[in-house]
Structure 1
């Protein structure tokens, strides 16, 4: 395939900048809901990066990437804290609830990724469905979620590495600095060193990084099996019901725990961002995404059960909980060191995959000119998005250096749940609204009304559950309404046959259930998550209004100028952004 020449940079004088800002309302109206077609996303937009990413990955690479991306983050970062403070021994049920929601979301991701195998993941799926701003908003939120969760995982690495060397207090490996605010004054240099090493590895090659990951993942799964057997061998079933029963914090604690441990499933969507580097996307992506979610869900539940059977939930430590549990067992202190080694390697594999995915998200956002274009550069020899990898590595290292793990954990999950909610809604929209072609165009109003009513009933159900004391009449009313609305929509509105080689069965039920669970779990999060979300949303919206919309507008002008120039020389003009369909509502 011939590579489209990169557009010339658009140099702006001060007067031009002022003129552009004065045109902001007009450009927002013109650009916010403009969509690209899947074909343009896979060809014209992808070619803006210059060199193509190299297609070297197979289905087993994807399963290993998905498993590695989730395992380290889930068990070692959240299990001990949630068991001790939120869910008790029923933390394994929290993992089941979160896993069901992740599996439903993964089905939506799979259909999109098979139909449109590009590195942009949710950003690309939302942009071709709801338009530029929604895609940008979702992509920016998932990027922030990646950076925060990777910083949390890196700080957990320091805790387990200290246990691997027989140091019981991980804080001794951090440098306390007077004068900084509490929670930001423990500098974690081992976490920063790890992020720098992984960033350099990812800049070199995706395939070599994948080979390292496959080896580490095989070791990691074997290690998990050893830990599970050792925990159950030293465990006592009575610990699951003592001192206060299986669910000492009640059903509310189980579901609140599910919202927190949902961060454990950040990683499977990284598989979809590898779509441009897969040899056979239509076969490999469904296996890679769904397979990794199922494998990891089973391991999470077994690990959570094993930990809570070995030690009463109220004695589980928040920091390096698995290593600490073994060190408190007579004759098994050595196993605490072994767990520290295995957990450290698992965390390295998890970070490798997550940082692999986040760079590809940012690369595709850069292709769309919504952030500076140099972030979209793909190195011609390594075939990796080198600038995006380095930039996000610096951001992740900065947060990991200063921010306490407890603070980071409270701020994550909301962005992931929001994006999964949007992707499920986008799938329903694409399956029930005809966007053109031989079948003509159908009105989007019935589908938009359904999404609005489903979201409203989901919020009503969630608030009824969230309020102290619980409004059971609200749960019954809103739950029944959500089921009835979905049933009526399924019966009255015809579903378009998916053109993808793999599609979600029984539509719209799986996508509707994904929307319902995403809203419900978001409502269970802490206040700090919503505060972070509001501040970040304000920032990225302002950035879009002051930079993104103008950058894409000027990029459109350059595309049209180049197309006209090539047309004058008798050459075919590439697809032009100015001719895009406005498929949004």
Structure 2
């Protein structure tokens, strides 16, 4: 869900930045508005669909050629980043960081509320893991690639956010951002970076804030065109990588028969999952479900952190998982208690301190009493300082999930219900049938060998 919807949103923002390259500021100038259809669904984005189709063709052709194209686009993208950072800092004023109401006008609550939505912009960092079958020495390359990319991208995002905020005060930045992201501060400015899906959430006067900042505040109209062109290339690179990973996710899921196995077929000539890649091109933008992506991503991160602890401390047939499950339950409940008290106006400092101390205490007890060597040492690479990184991830993800709005839970609940019905009616039966076929095939081959 996260990949498909974020791909559609990023593709839609491509039209805005491409239009700004030619000086067009009206968001729907290059879109076809259809009368009689509900607002939010009536703007057909032909350039975005065309871009997805072109990228689909590239991905279907070959992974090697697609990677080379992505490398070229990434070089231009980095040059574009450097231009924005240097030009923005050169033409900005540090006073804009504190005008008109200080550095963090909405306080810690505003920063953390914005952080829950910033997760939307970080979707895709884990897509490198989908290429494990196609790279040499994945145990060494993947951890370095994933961790390194997150650090580099975070640094670039922060520098670009600062560059934007020194060019104009945050009160003027907010006119370019999704209205549901308000209140906003410097942290949430990350959402308006070129290629960030939040650019496309609502149709407002300016959906290309960097281009607008150079054109209207700095007076560099030529720079506005450069930024628009650079952002467009960056969006192409982002889509290329995102669709590359998503097609392989679908391929792996299809191999398990959770979705139709047609998606798992690999083209014999190109070696790419062509059917899964073409399937992605059928999706277009659905604005009303974008808030679901943040809660979906946070939930996935929460589940991964729990699974990491379970996998590290439990070995089936050797030790019982009760103590690990109890630790995960208590950690989740204490995190939830802290988070719910945080939402109360005026806060409850003593209660928050109590739940925070409980979380630290139970993690410390688990660290001192649980044995990692029972499950055996990791074969290649492992997360250090366990269980603290995973426990911190559980706490933070639970906290950020509770900062989202109620409608996010409602829509996510509906989506989850649809998926459960699909799994019960199709996935579980298809998987069972596939396992039976595999067992029968193994028995057949064994009989042939014996005879």
TM-score, normalised by the number of residues in structure 1:
0.70
Match of 1:537 in 2: 416
Q: Is 2:220 the partner of 1:363?
A: no
What runs of 5+ residues in structure 1 fail to find an aligned partner? 1-143, 573-585
Match of 2:320 in 1: 443
Residues 571 and 214 of structure 1: CA distance in aligned 2, closer, same or farther (over 3 Å): farther
| Greater Cα offset, 491-500 or 209-218 | 491-500
Match of 1:175 in 2: 32
Deviation digits for residues 418-447 of structure 1, max 9, x if unmatched?
1111111111101111224xxxx1010000
Q: 1:461, 1:571 → 2: CA distance?
A: 63
Match of 1:292 in 2: 149
Contact 2:289 2:411 in 1 (8 A): no
Match of 1:149 in 2: 6
Runs of 4+ in 1 over 4 A off after TM superposition: none
Q: 2:300 aligns with which of 397, 419, 433?
A: 419
Contact 1:457 1:478 in 2 (8 A): yes
Higher relative contact order (CA 8 A, sep 6+): 1
Q: 1:470, 1:486 → 2: CA distance?
A: 24
Q: 1:197, 1:383 → 2: CA distance?
A: 19
Q: 1:205 aligns with which of 44, 47, 62?
A: 62
Deviation digits for residues 247-278 of structure 1, max 9, x if unmatched?
11221110111111111111211101111111
Q: 1:256 aligns with which of 80, 96, 113?
A: 113
Contact 2:14 2:48 in 1 (8 A): yes
Q: 1:324 aligns with which of 187, 209, 212?
A: 212
Listed as ranges, the matches of 1:375-524 within 5 Å are: 375-395=263-283, 398=284, 400=285, 403-404=286-287, 407-436=288-317, 441-496=318-373, 497-524=376-403
Q: 2:345, 2:35 → 1: CA distance?
A: 40
Contact 2:167 2:217 in 1 (8 A): no
Listed as ranges, the matches of 1:55-454 within 5 Å are: 144-316=1-173, 317-318=176-177, 319-395=207-283, 398=284, 400=285, 403-404=286-287, 407-436=288-317, 441-454=318-331
Partner-residue secondary structure (3-state), 2:282: helix
Match of 2:188 in 1: none
Q: 2:405 aligns with which of 501, 526, 529?
A: 526
Q: 2:235, 2:218 → 1: CA distance?
A: 27
Contact 2:62 2:272 in 1 (8 A): yes
Q: 1:455, 1:230 → 2: CA distance?
A: 45
Match of 2:431 in 1: 552
Q: 2:64, 2:106 → 1: CA distance?
A: 45
Contact 1:149 1:408 in 2 (8 A): no
Contact 2:7 2:239 in 1 (8 A): yes
Q: 1:571, 1:370 → 2: CA distance?
A: 34
Q: 2:63, 2:19 → 1: CA distance?
A: 30
Q: CA deviation at 1:571?
A: 6.2
Contact 1:147 1:392 in 2 (8 A): yes
Match of 1:136 in 2: none
Deviation digits for residues 392-442 of structure 1, max 9, x if unmatched?
2212xx3x2xx34xx454232211111111111111101111224xxxx10
Partner-residue secondary structure (3-state), 1:426: helix
Match of 2:202 in 1: none
Residues 571 and 237 of structure 1: CA distance in aligned 2, closer, same or farther (over 3 Å): farther
Match of 2:203 in 1: none
Partner-residue secondary structure (3-state), 2:28: helix
Match of 2:183 in 1: none
Partner-residue secondary structure (3-state), 2:68: helix
Q: CA deviation at 1:347?
A: 0.5
Q: RMSD in angstroms over aligned alpha carbons?
A: 1.4
Contact 2:168 2:217 in 1 (8 A): no
Q: 1:392, 1:151 → 2: CA distance?
A: 10
Partner-residue secondary structure (3-state), 2:384: coil
